[in-house]
Amino acid sequence: MPELPEVETIVRDLSHLLPGARIGKVEVLRPDLIEGEAAEAFAKHLKGKRIRGVTRRAKNIVTDLGGERLLVNLGMTGRLLVARADEPDTGHLGVRIALDGGRELRYHDARRFGRLWIVGEEAWRAWDGELGVEPLSDDFTAEWLLQAAGRSRVAIKTWLMDQARVVGVGNIYASEGLFRAGVDPRRPAHSITAEEAPRIVEGVRRVLTDAIEHRGTTFLDYRDARGERGGFAARLQVYDQEGEPCPVCGAPLERIVQGGRSTFFCGACQT
Ligand SMILES: [Zn+2]
């Protein structure tokens, strides 16, 4: 499932490819992927618009159409690709958006948990306002974390994964970020001290930045035709490594379940 680094990787690629392109014919092959309006209305809505830019908000790809925005959430298995119009598609094609210059923007989704929708300025602001802080933005600071954690008794790992607080920190990156911070993932959020908060902020930022540099963990290995794992997978220090020696102290790494998700940590280093 794509997390923030994987979506950021796609957005950076698309932001080189799409700005300036004008949208031609739009074909919706899987109407259940479209939200907020009927597939036909969606297709008409997009036609003729010029793409101004591509950015990311949480785990969503935001295409600026000038006044309106096309939002794409990849769900579990979605892919948004630019292809030449004469290239055969790679299967599970859900939406085909013709661009000038003989190119197409294609949305593929095997399991169809992804979605595409268009928002105007007001709907955008409301949607954006409900999402938490971007962990790579200047708003994600130790001061913010201490204040937002307040009296929360939720375990810090589960707390970091709440999209209404911090966006895009999924299971892999929450475990890895807390390992780098040396903080026990079971600690209640309110117990985080002024000395630990900067380490958590730094740990989460570092692991996300590293993963973006290596073009993500999960997404690329999923689509890699050679069957190789994504560039960041080899750099994971604790995730999915129960029983392996901690890379810092050598103690066996532990696995627990928090909020229905596996957490990996070192019981010796993380206090
Ligand atoms: Zn350790």
List, in order of start, the domains of the chain with CATH numbers: 4-130 (3.20.190.10), 142-265 (1.10.8.50)
Question: Is residue 2 flagged as an active site residue?
Answer: yes
Q: What is the 3-state secondary structure (H, E, C) of 221-232?
A: HHHCCCCCCCCC
pLDDT tier at 29 (50, 70, 90 boundaries)?
very high
Q: How far apart are CA 254 and CA 251, in angstroms?
A: 9
Residue 31: pLDDT over 90: yes
Q: Whole-prediction pTM value?
A: 0.87
Residue 219: pLDDT over 70: no
Would you call 165 helix, strand, or coil by DSSP? coil
Q: 105 near 80, Cβ under 8 Å?
A: yes
Task: Give the list of residues 6+ apart from residue 53 with CB closer than 8 angstroms, or none.
Answer: 15, 18, 19, 63, 64
Q: What confidence score (pLDDT) does residue 227 get?
A: 46
248 CA to centre of ligand 1 in angstroms: 5
pLDDT tier at 132 (50, 70, 90 boundaries)?
very high
238 CA to centre of ligand 1 in angstroms: 10
For the stretch 161-207, pLDDT in tens is: 999 999 989 899 999 999 999 999 999 999 999 999 999 999 999 99
Out of 95-109, 168-182, 214-228, least confident range: 214-228
183 CA to centre of ligand 1 in angstroms: 11
pLDDT, averaged across the chain: 92
